Chain A
């Protein structure tokens, strides 16, 4: 039942002033303005770090993306093409991404030894192995907690999913619902963020003013950190409604909408850019579905064909706006796909030797960490797992992952203390 006072928001101090005013038998206090002046937008902008995750749901094939093995028994039909970084080749299914390679880096030596969708996803999203009875917050919740500005009424942790949505995600574990994801199903704005048509803005303001005055009468008698948080949530709601356009991708220019494409994934990428530009800490875009037990090659051709353009455009836009300096990009899956091609021209689940693409923030751009053997059946150098990656992601945005969160007096390590970041990838 703990709730910290030290949010220092304006409303908070306002409420306190009212609170004290009532105690001070009418005496007024001046000079509070000095205390309430928030960090300037510039200061915030400079400090704000972001994380953008692409979740390639189902298990992206490393062989058709980041670690092609052309002309081998396992390589499949696609070629490898050169990228903007001399020496790095990726699959020909990602020609536009190849042009952005100098902003990105690859980890080609992942061995998570996990071939189950649920468990693999848990590992990659939390940086820990699943253990019965224990739950860990997902990276979005961790990033929101570690990097978000407390005064922002916009959520710090957003999931853009192909469908569904509307409810809060159950992904913050002990960090609490404050850091749970707000799910934008098919890119739609948060539920109930639209004022009902029958309620004019003026009428809404009037009833909110009434609410404030009623509530103050109670707060004067029984104000606690909990009541403060509750009261503040209504002001945050008003603020979010006021800034609802943040979630409205149609407000982007026609030109940009064309550049990203009219299909869902393109819209979601543009929305992600919009959200990051407007100060959201963490955005995850899910691209589905890569679980290609059948027809692996046709599916990858189709799926990556959709992915390549918008993704490359987004990387390039973030780079040219300068936002990439403070934004970590990760393209991950729950696992990779088997080098072995099955009888249905499919590839199956494969946690033994696969890849992740990342870039931005403090990631060494143009770097490649680790390698697999000639046919991609085993990691041949610098093997890493989910734990290393999780440390690396967070350290790339300046989080000291050797620290712990203080959860009601219990220290909870931010990342698995038994693991460490891939230092060579951090610039």
Chain B
């Protein structure tokens, strides 16, 4: 099994025609199913694509290892996984990764990034905070308990102090806390709702913002005399707000987004604090709203909280949430798979927020294991699938649903209004009830305080009275005595006693006065309490009544809403299916048109070539003819000359012949015979000459006849050649214009083909996006800075080397005895320790990556960006170069020992990309290694560098 198979065309199946749609109407996934099965079923239902090809082993082990432990797998792990034939190997892999200590680190990184967005160190040390989170996950603590501790933290608990970073790094600023609690805990960025109802998002109201605000507005930063920071809470402080748009005013108590109204316990004013506020003292109230938030948010019943975390954990595995951006859960930004998100949220709560259990189910789903492809699935390209017809059918169904929804909207709105009205009435009752109850509690508290005071005062008054009586008795005694004894001797004492009595008087009077006052205050209090109790009870029963009405109406509304949502979901599903089909169709059309154009272009090219060939041939003919014409002309002239010469010769001969004939006639006319013998010989000679001449003439004549014939022949050939020449030249110019036109057409066609190609390109991207969003194909996710750093150190061998160094150090510092060396537990424990030490040591390198590849502090951290400082770092920084050229047990050293290019390439690709190389890649490696002018060491480093800087390494896929 190699990674190559992942890129071969995939086969998707869709249920055709009515079946595609009836699938949407099917019963929902059964809760008794495993979450894994529910995920797959719900994804299938949502797109109508019922089966999808899974990623190759190589892709899968890289993907899941990156997602669960935050770095790429070791070469040996990849090798072992690929050759393992066990059907259980993937489940075993997932279980192994989830129990790996690196999983805790990965989760700590994730939660830190989520909650802190790389905020700088303020009050709490970053390492302590990260260690706190890592330990929490390592100790198998559940997400709700971690979040609860973070929300409750005030920094006073020495062990849990790092948990206070969430508050302290934000200086316990209530607006900042409100925004981030809204975003991170409930997935709602309520920022705009700080000053007014959200302008773009119907669901986000100013009261939602202030509902959260009310939980934290009583908290503030407290710094003790040692300049140590804590979170301090007060027992009072209500929230009122005004819209900057409408000027409307509102008032709210603490309320969770999407949650029911919360009613605070009513604490008597005299019991507000365990530690009362004072100068330099951190107040601790008996009831802390902040802690109340922690309890209510994490109790498993708040759907917004559950869905938020389910969505964030989903995004941890899939690179994007079902709701995306992760902090914009609202009606206008619905989840791509609403029912799936519902299921995930309730499952997370059902699992008691056990993230390992949740992630395991997600990792095992086929949706998670899906392959990547930019190609259209086979079912879509099948000729029997009439896409336009399909789209039309689905659109009609959608339109039907939309109109039904419009109808339902009205009745839904009516129920909503009825429910809201009841809720408002209930709210008023609750307000009144709270006022009555608070009054009652206050009265009781007064009664308690006053009674105690009265009792104390009465006791005090009695005491004073008794002293007065005693004194009076003493005076009376003295008086009696003075009657019997000498009176004057007692006078001073009596005076003293009298003065004492006088001195007691104001106190006694004051006490009496206060006692009277208290009695007056107390006498109606009992009645008032009774009244208040009655009123409270009345209001309570009214509240109960209204509550049940409200509950009924809410149920009605919820069921309407549910139906409404079901319809909306179905519409969304249909929209998705339509979009999927339409995108596919557009891509297919564009692809087809492009292919046609390509073919036309090919044909046009052939035609052009043919024309060119004919042109060439024609040109040749023209040339040949012209050459022949020239030659013929020459021959004609020659023949003409010959003919003229012959004619001249002939006429000359004829003239001589005539002269001879005249001479012969003259000889014959001589009468003297005496001269006859002489004459005879002359005559004879003349006759001979005439005969010779005649013969010569005949010869010339025949020659002339021949030459004339040849001349005439040549002349007629020339005429024929000339006419053929005209024909060829015409043809030539015709062909030339044909060629020109064809070339123009070709240019046009080329232009059109290019634009079609770019159109196809864009449509393919749209398809990949749609397929990715529909979870029928995997997308690319950039590695986080941490993943990138750890993976690079893993691949190059930096981690292994550092662990070895730490082991050596441990062996040196705490040598093992021979007996100890044979204890496997001890050795394993030592390795785990060394690994932890190594990781801690390498953290500073990770921080370098964070500063380059991470977003700014306090900014959303999930967008991808590529900047020059990053590539300059990879290109020139000593860090990266040093890692690549590592000694010890590094990739570089392993590669140096491999001679054979194929084995070299395999080791390289398995180590960096977790997959074997393709033929092309093999060839490239071979070529580079054998290139002239490079030595093998440099070439090896270059090859590692080229791979770790490639997109394939930068992304998870």
Give A residues with C-beta under 8 Å from B.
1-3, 5, 16, 19-20, 24, 27, 29-32, 35, 131-135, 153, 155, 167-168, 170-174, 176-178, 180, 182, 190-196, 199, 203-204, 206-207, 210-211, 213-215, 217-219, 221-227, 229-234, 236-238, 240-241, 408, 410
User: Which residues of B sit under 8 angstroms from A233, Cβ to Cβ?
Assistant: 866-868, 870-871
- Contact partner, A229, options B374, B859, B866, Cβ 8 Å: B866
- Contact partner, B374, options A135, A222, A232, A410, Cβ 8 Å: A222
What are 27 A-B interface contacts by the 8 Å CB criterion? A1-B782, A29-B757, A31-B750, A132-B170, A132-B179, A133-B173, A135-B859, A167-B851, A168-B852, A170-B857, A171-B856, A173-B859, A177-B867, A193-B876, A210-B943, A211-B946, A214-B924, A214-B946, A215-B946, A218-B951, A221-B7, A224-B779, A225-B765, A230-B955, A233-B866, A240-B868, A408-B325
Given A1-B320, A222-B372, A177 contacting B176 (CB threshold 8 A): no
CA distance A218 to B950 in the complex (A): 8
CA distance A196 to B179 in the complex (A): 46
User: Which residues of A sit under 8 angstroms from B372, Cβ to Cβ?
Assistant: 222
Q: In the complex the two chains form, is A226's CB within 8 Å of B864's CB?
A: yes
Q: In the complex the two chains form, is A219's CB within 8 Å of B761's CB?
A: no
CA distance A426 to B590 in the complex (A): 50
- Provide the B776-801 mask, 1 if CB < 8 A to any CB of A, else 0: 00011010000000000000000000
Q: In the complex the two chains form, is B865's CB within 8 Å of A207's CB?
A: no
Least Cβ–Cβ distance between A19 and chain B, in angstroms: 7
Given A210-B943, A230-B954, A190 contacting B325 (CB threshold 8 A): no
Q: In the complex the two chains form, is A31's CB within 8 Å of B747's CB?
A: yes
B872 interface contact, C-beta 8 A:
yes
Least Cβ–Cβ distance between A407 and chain B, in angstroms: 10
- Provide the B861-902 mask, 1 if CB < 8 A to any CB of A, else 0: 011111111111111111001000000000000000000000
Q: In the complex the two chains form, is A190's CB within 8 Å of B872's CB?
A: yes
9 additional contacts (CB under 8 A) given A133-B191, A168-B867, A203-B942? A27-B598, A29-B754, A132-B174, A193-B872, A211-B945, A215-B951, A217-B918, A224-B779, A230-B955
Q: In the complex the two chains form, is B928's CB within 8 Å of A227's CB?
A: no
Given A134-B191, A210-B928, A218-B952, A190 contacting B864 (CB threshold 8 A): no
Closest to A218 in B: B952
Q: In the complex the two chains form, is B876's CB within 8 Å of A195's CB?
A: yes
B938 interface contact, C-beta 8 A:
yes
B768 interface contact, C-beta 8 A:
yes
Q: In the complex the two chains form, is B871's CB within 8 Å of A173's CB?
A: no
Given A168-B851, A176-B865, A133 contacting B954 (CB threshold 8 A): no
Least Cβ–Cβ distance between A198 and chain B, in angstroms: 8
B261 interface contact, C-beta 8 A:
no
Q: In the complex the two chains form, is B758's CB within 8 Å of A16's CB?
A: yes
User: Which residues of B sit under 8 angstroms from A410, Cβ to Cβ?
Assistant: 200
Given A168-B851, A177-B855, A408-B325, A237 contacting B872 (CB threshold 8 A): yes
CA distance A173 to B855 in the complex (A): 9
Least Cβ–Cβ distance between B760 and chain A, in angstroms: 8
User: Which residues of B sit under 8 angstroms from A206, Cβ to Cβ?
Assistant: 931, 934, 942
CA distance A168 to B750 in the complex (A): 45
CA distance A230 to B868 in the complex (A): 9
Closest to A193 in B: B872
Q: In the complex the two chains form, is B750's CB within 8 Å of A192's CB?
A: no
Closest to B602 in A: A27
Q: In the complex the two chains form, is B863's CB within 8 Å of A1's CB?
A: yes
- Provide the B417-435 mask, 1 if CB < 8 A to any CB of A, else 0: 0000000000000000000
B753 interface contact, C-beta 8 A:
yes
**From A24, A214, A221, residue with most partner B Cβ within 10 Å:** A214
B583 interface contact, C-beta 8 A:
no
Q: In the complex the two chains form, is A178's CB within 8 Å of B857's CB?
A: no
- Provide the B574-588 mask, 1 if CB < 8 A to any CB of A, else 0: 000000000000000
Closest to A240 in B: B868
**From B601, B851, B942, residue with most partner A Cβ within 10 Å:** B942
User: Which residues of A sit under 8 angstroms from B874, Cβ to Cβ?
Assistant: 234
Main secondary structure of the interface of B (DSSP, over half): helix
User: Which residues of A sit under 8 angstroms from B857, Cβ to Cβ?
Assistant: 170
User: Which residues of A sit under 8 angstroms from B178, Cβ to Cβ?
Assistant: 133
- Provide the B169-193 mask, 1 if CB < 8 A to any CB of A, else 0: 0100111101110000000000100
CA distance A331 to B2 in the complex (A): 62
B82 interface contact, C-beta 8 A:
no
Q: In the complex the two chains form, is A168's CB within 8 Å of B869's CB?
A: yes
Given A5-B762, A32-B754, A237 contacting B871 (CB threshold 8 A): yes
User: Which residues of B sit under 8 angstroms from A236, Cβ to Cβ?
Assistant: 868, 871
Closest to B171 in A: A132
User: Which residues of A sit under 8 angstroms from B173, Cβ to Cβ?
Assistant: 132-133
Least Cβ–Cβ distance between A214 and chain B, in angstroms: 5
Q: In the complex the two chains form, is B761's CB within 8 Å of A20's CB?
A: yes
Q: In the complex the two chains form, is A170's CB within 8 Å of B856's CB?
A: yes
Q: Sort A-B residue pairs by CB-CB distance and give the 9 closest, nearest first.
A: A170-B856, A133-B179, A237-B871, A192-B872, A132-B176, A227-B951, A233-B866, A207-B942, A211-B946
CA distance A195 to B877 in the complex (A): 9
- Provide the B724-764 mask, 1 if CB < 8 A to any CB of A, else 0: 00000000000000000000000100110110011011100
User: Which residues of A sit under 8 angstroms from B259, Cβ to Cβ?
Assistant: none
Q: In the complex the two chains form, is A227's CB within 8 Å of B780's CB?
A: yes
B921 interface contact, C-beta 8 A:
yes
Q: In the complex the two chains form, is A219's CB within 8 Å of B951's CB?
A: yes
User: Which residues of B sit under 8 angstroms from A226, Cβ to Cβ?
Assistant: 780, 782, 864, 866, 955
CA distance A135 to B118 in the complex (A): 14
CA distance A134 to B183 in the complex (A): 13
User: Which residues of A sit under 8 angstroms from B851, Cβ to Cβ?
Assistant: 167-168
B957 interface contact, C-beta 8 A:
yes
CA distance A174 to B862 in the complex (A): 12
Given A27-B598, A192-B876, A176 contacting B871 (CB threshold 8 A): no
B131 interface contact, C-beta 8 A:
no
CA distance A170 to B191 in the complex (A): 21
Q: In the complex the two chains form, is A155's CB within 8 Å of B868's CB?
A: yes
User: Which residues of A sit under 8 angstroms from B863, Cβ to Cβ?
Assistant: 1-2, 176, 408
Least Cβ–Cβ distance between B770 and chain A, in angstroms: 13
User: Which residues of A sit under 8 angstroms from B645, Cβ to Cβ?
Assistant: none
B388 interface contact, C-beta 8 A:
no
**From A195, A211, A217, residue with most partner B Cβ within 10 Å:** A211
CA distance A213 to B946 in the complex (A): 9
Least Cβ–Cβ distance between B752 and chain A, in angstroms: 11
User: Which residues of A sit under 8 angstroms from B598, Cβ to Cβ?
Assistant: 24, 27
Least Cβ–Cβ distance between A297 and chain B, in angstroms: 36
Q: In the complex the two chains form, is A230's CB within 8 Å of B866's CB?
A: yes
CA distance A218 to B948 in the complex (A): 13
User: Which residues of B sit under 8 angstroms from A194, Cβ to Cβ?
Assistant: 876
CA distance A237 to B957 in the complex (A): 25
Least Cβ–Cβ distance between A103 and chain B, in angstroms: 33
B486 interface contact, C-beta 8 A:
no
CA distance A29 to B179 in the complex (A): 53
CA distance A35 to B761 in the complex (A): 16
User: Which residues of B sit under 8 angstroms from A173, Cβ to Cβ?
Assistant: 856, 859
CA distance A222 to B325 in the complex (A): 24
User: Which residues of B sit under 8 angstroms from A3, Cβ to Cβ?
Assistant: 864
Q: In the complex the two chains form, is A230's CB within 8 Å of B320's CB?
A: no
CA distance A174 to B851 in the complex (A): 17
Least Cβ–Cβ distance between B145 and chain A, in angstroms: 27
Q: In the complex the two chains form, is B946's CB within 8 Å of A232's CB?
A: no
Least Cβ–Cβ distance between B326 and chain A, in angstroms: 11
Closest to A34 in B: B751
B947 interface contact, C-beta 8 A:
yes
B843 interface contact, C-beta 8 A:
no
Least Cβ–Cβ distance between B10 and chain A, in angstroms: 13
- Contact partner, B864, options A204, A210, A229, Cβ 8 Å: A229
Q: In the complex the two chains form, is B859's CB within 8 Å of A133's CB?
A: no
B920 interface contact, C-beta 8 A:
yes
Least Cβ–Cβ distance between A202 and chain B, in angstroms: 8
User: Which residues of A sit under 8 angstroms from B946, Cβ to Cβ?
Assistant: 207, 210-211, 214-215
User: Which residues of A sit under 8 angstroms from B762, Cβ to Cβ?
Assistant: 5
